[in-house]
Amino acid sequence: MNKKSLALISALVVGAFSAQAQSVPAPASAVPTVSVTATPSIVSQYMFRGQRLGGPSFQPAVELGYGDVVAGVWSNFPLADKVPGVSDPEFDFYGSDTVTLNPASSIVVGFTYYYYPRADLNAGLYRSTFEPNIAFNYTLAGLKLTPKLYWDFMLKGPTYEFTAAYAVPLKEIGTELDFSAVGGTYLVNDASRNFSPAVKAWGNYWLLSAAAPFQLTKESKLTVGFAYTKGSNAFAKQGSFPKSSISSAVGRGVVTISYAYSF
C-alpha cells in the first residue's frame, strides 16, 4: 500500500521548457492506478495484540487501492471453539494514506473502525470502536522498521507498537521468506462499556512470524505462514478494587493460509 504520490513538478517544468525550445509536447503525468485485492484466509487461532479472541477462523478481506490511498474491510468468522460474544463475527473497516519522504522513509496515516454486531452489551462489550493511527516507516539495508501509535476513542487510550520486517530471497523455489517481529503495549481507560467507576486495562504483547508467498499467476498469490504471539502483564482494574488478570492474554502459535487475487 506504499506508492509515491509527489514530485512531478520538476518533470513538468522541464517538459514545458523543452516544448518551447523544440516544439515537443511535455510528457503526460503519471495517473494513479486502481487496484482491488480479495484475500480469503484461514487461521488456526484468532489472536489480536496478545489476546485470544477465537479458535480456527475464516478471515476474508477486500482492499481497494488508488495511488497512495488504501481502503478496505477485513472480517472474522469463527469456525470452531468460539469465544462467546467476541468477534463472532467481526468487521474492521480501514483506510490509510502514505506520504513518501524519501526512498528510505515514509509516514502512513490511517484508521480502523471495529464493528462487532453480536457483542454482548450486558457484559460490557462494545459493538464498535474507532482507532486512528500514525506510523513512520524507515528501511535500512533491507530491514524495515516501523514505530506506530494508535488511539482508541471508545476505549480511551493508546497502543504503542514497533515492528521490524526483513525478507530473505529463496530464488531456487521462486519465493522469499518474510520475517517480522512485533512488540507492543497498551493502556485504555474505559475498557468496559457503561461501567462506573470505569475499568482500566493494560498489558504488553509480542509476535514473531515467518511467511512464504507463492506467486501462482500474475493476479494471484498463495501465502503460508506461522506466527507465535503472546500477551503478558495484562490486567484490568475498576476503581479502588484490586487488579485482576486478563484471562484472554495467552501465548499461542498461529498457522495462516491465505489466497490473494488482484484485479
User: What's the pLDDT at 22?
Assistant: 40
User: What's the pLDDT at 32?
Assistant: 81
Mean local confidence (pLDDT), 186-197: 96
**Which grid coordinates belong to 170?**
529463496
pLDDT digits (tens, 9 = 90+) for 25-36: 444 446 789 999
Residue 203, pLDDT above cutoff 50: yes
With H, G, I as helix, E, B as strand and everything else as coil, classify residue 59.
coil
User: What's the pLDDT at 46?
Assistant: 97
Pair (48, 7) in one structural domain? no
Question: What is the domain-level CATH number for residue 256?
Answer: 2.40.230.20
Cell 501465502 -> residue:
223
Pair (19, 3) in one structural domain? yes
Pair (16, 89) in one structural domain? no
Do residues 43 and 61 lie in contact, with contact meaning Cβ atoms separated by under 8 Å? no
Q: How far is Cα 6 from Cα 23, in angstroms, rounded to an integer?
A: 27
Pair (78, 25) in one structural domain? no
User: What's the pLDDT at 83?
Assistant: 81
- Tell me how far apart the 2 most distant CA atoms of the chain are, in Å: 81
Residue 169, pLDDT above cutoff 50: yes
Pair (182, 75) in one structural domain? yes
Distances (CA, A) of 86 to 15, 55, 94: 57, 11, 19
**Which grid coordinates belong to 76?**
472474522
Pair (89, 2) in one structural domain? no
Domain residues for the domain of 97 are: 34-262
With H, G, I as helix, E, B as strand and everything else as coil, classify residue 241.
coil
Query: Total structural domains in the chain?
Result: 2
User: What's the pLDDT at 85?
Assistant: 73
- Give the 3-state secondary structure percentages of the chain, helix then strand then coil, rounded to 5: 10, 60, 30
Q: Judging by beta carbons within 10 Å of its beta carbon (0-12, 13-18, 19+), is residue 29 exposed, middle or buried?
A: exposed
Confidence of residue 12 (pLDDT cuts 50, 70, 90): very low
User: What's the pLDDT at 211?
Assistant: 98
- The backbone torsions φ and ψ at residue 70, rounded to the nearest 5 degrees and listed phi first, read -130, 140
- The backbone torsions φ and ψ at residue 13, rounded to the nearest 5 degrees and listed phi first, read -65, -45
CB-based burial, 154-181: b 16+ in 10 Å, e otherwise: bbebbbebebebebeeeeeeebeebebe
Q: How far is Cα 126 from Cα 114, in angstroms, rounded to an integer?
A: 9
Q: 3-class secondary structure for 162-220?
A: EEEEEEEEEHHHCEEEEEEEEEEEEEECCCCCCCCCCEEEEEEEEEEEEEEEEECCCCE
Please state the pTM of the whole predicted model.
0.86
Pair (25, 41) in one structural domain? no
Pair (132, 247) in one structural domain? yes
Q: How far is Cα 156 from Cα 131, in angstroms, rounded to an integer?
A: 10
Pair (27, 38) in one structural domain? no
Pair (65, 83) in one structural domain? yes
The number of angstroms, rounded, from the C-alpha of 31 to the middle of its chain's C-alpha atoms is 26
**Which grid coordinates belong to 221?**
498469490
More confident residue, 143 or 173: 143
Do residues 25 and 11 lie in contact, with contact meaning Cβ atoms separated by under 8 Å? no
Distances (CA, A) of 207 to 18, 180, 183, 251: 54, 8, 7, 9
Residue 170 DSSP one-character state: E
Pair (27, 98) in one structural domain? no
Pair (73, 52) in one structural domain? yes
User: What's the pLDDT at 1?
Assistant: 40
Confidence of residue 168 (pLDDT cuts 50, 70, 90): very high
